[in-house]
Amino acid sequence: MRLLLMIFCCELLACGQPENKQQAGTAGTDSAIAAAGPRDRLNLQISKFEEIDSSGVLMFPLAMGETAKRGKSDYYKEVPYNMYWNIIFYNSTNGESHLLSDTLKLLVNDFGYNNPEQRDKLKSKNKLFFNLTVADNNQDGRLDGDDPNYLFVTDKQGKNLQQVSPPGCDFFDWYVVENSDLIIMLVRVDSNKDNKFDEEDEKAAYRFDLSSDSIPMEIVDTVFRDKLRKLYHRNWQREKN
């Protein structure tokens, strides 16, 4: 009798094993969900929008918040204050939407389109202008104010993103020449190669023609720059004591 009882108990344990395997599988699924936790904690922050020239196309600058895990620090790097990490363009006529870029890691520093001094000029160009940071110039693992600003342009729907300021230079001012497609830009060049853009660096002027140019062209070329150095050296060097 005792032998029969032991056999019966062993059969019960054997029948219970598939259920244990199922529970183990569930635990594995839970672990996978937990592993994706940092992404699940992100929350979209849309706090403003504007329409482009009564076109029905709306721009939604994007910020992103993070719900921190209790007792632990945030998982993601913080986007600098008053900057955005992308822009949604929404066509209210056909319901289509797209991003400023879904390939570049970028910071949106400013919307050149909103510059009141150039608003009327820019309307005639059918272009949108953006001040973006896209390169970790000092290789500190971040995009921030220590990295160069670049001038980018798109069409009025926010498509065909194109960089118009020179790479490796910090763009800080620009101007659209009246009755033309010509853009004049002022940039800082890291002339002393210290991975910083400050008053010790050279400042240069570039031009870009929206109708024809594929790359920005420096206004003061190497030959002219050497001439300026020689002229300054001749006229302004200090007298010897």
CA distances from 67 to 76, 82, 96 (A): 10, 19, 30
CB count within 10 Å of CB 52 equals 16
CB 121 within 8 A of CB 178: yes
- pLDDT on residue 40: 78
Q: With contact defined as beta carbons under 8 Å apart, do 170 and 191 qualify?
A: no
- Between CA 182 and CA 209 the distance in angstroms is 4
What does the pLDDT read at residue 3? 44
- Match domain 35-236 to its CATH number in 1.20.140, 3.30.450, 2.40.50, 2.40.128: 2.40.128
Long-range pairs, 219-224, Cβ under 8 A, ≥24: 219/184
Show pLDDT as tens, one digit a residue, over the chain (241 residues).
Answer: 444 444 444 444 444 444 444 444 444 444 443 445 777 778 888 888 888 888 899 999 998 887 766 556 667 777 777 789 999 999 999 999 999 999 999 999 987 555 555 556 666 678 888 999 999 998 888 898 899 999 999 998 999 999 999 999 999 999 888 888 899 999 999 999 998 898 889 999 999 999 888 899 999 998 999 999 999 999 998 877 6
Query: Cβ–Cβ contacts within 10 Å for residue 79, how many?
Result: 18
Cα–Cα dist 183/121, whole Å: 11
Coil, strand or helix: which one is 83?
coil
